[in-house]
Amino acid sequence: MTSPPPRILSIAGSDSGGGAGIQADIKTITMLGGFAMTAICALTAQNTLGVTAVAATTPAMVAAQIDACVSDIGVDAVKIGMLGSPQIAAVVADRLEGLGVPVVFDPVMIATSGAALADAATIAAFERLMALATLTTPNVPELAALGGDAAMAARGIAYLAKGGDADGPVVEDRLVIPGQPPRLWQAPRIATRHSHGTGCTLSSAIATELGRGASLEQAVDRARAFVRAALLAAPGLGAGHGPMGHHAVRG
């Protein structure tokens, strides 16, 4: 008898263009053999050229979605992405405290396109989520907005400093776990404009692996491999910052 798939709850925003957000999470979790569930925090109208409209869900509706999944199907790991408002961030923290499963928090503030996705009050509300998360996964500008490595060290939390937004031919990702030496991954940069949703994909892949029982280092290693394979398999859709090829990668 085969074991059931890890049950992964994505708490994030919807991307109408399908490249990032909830849509990228569902594809990633599914291709890695997990069972994807969602709590949608915001609706966006977007495509490869950018975001044209955003509408936040109510905190009560986000809470109801989380409760519905947890109370019946159950959850083995959680991924948190775009939240939309500080009130939603607070209700998500309320629901996750005491849940007792791995939580991967992607502190979405600035999309790769440069669009700001979180205001100052939302960033302040991130403190509770970072404290309860198993891993926080900031990109270069998000790490800076959170105070840099010194501030993350002062928080005493595990984080993955993603290097995809840095310049240079080599991408370096750095896993920092309190009390341990940093673990570095380096790989040649994949030159492509079709990289929309890399952060969402990486965080949901890490959550899926953690839900399966992998260690943090194993989960990050496997998730990075999945992201790189999806970048190489990008279908070339859209006139701008196009989606990755989740459909072509098996975990």
Provide DSSP, 189-212: ----S--BTHHHHHHHHHHHHHHH
Q: What is the pLDDT of residue 161?
A: 98
Given a cut of 70, the residues of the chain with pLDDT beneath it are 1, 110-117
The predicted pLDDT at position 103 comes to 98
pLDDT value of position 25: 98
d(CA 32, CA 14): 20
Per-residue tokens: 24: 């990228």
Q: How confident is the model at residue 117, as a pLDDT?
A: 65
pLDDT at 115: 65
DSSP state of 8: E
Instruction: Sheet containing 183-188: give its strands across.
Output: 50-56, 35-47, 7-15, 77-80, 103-105, 135-136, 159-161, 170-176, 183-188
Q: At what angle do helices 148-155 and 120-132 cross, to 10 degrees?
A: 50
Do the Cβ atoms of 29 and 69 come closer than 8 Å?
Answer: no
Q: What is the pTM of this model?
A: 0.96
pLDDT, residue 64, reads 98
Q: What is the DSSP letter of 246?
A: G
CB-CB contact of 215 with 38 (8 Å):
no
Q: What is the DSSP letter of 180?
A: S
Q: Rounded to 10 degrees, what is the CA torsion of 60, 65, 70, 72?
A: 120
For position 109, what pLDDT does the model report? 81
With CA atoms as reference, report the closest residue to 35 among 71, 82, 3: 3
Report pLDDT for 165.
Answer: 83
* pLDDT score at 204: 98
For residue 40, which of 95, 81, 97 has the smallest C-alpha distance? Answer: 81
pLDDT of residue 8: 99
Instruction: Output the pLDDT for position 122.
Output: 78
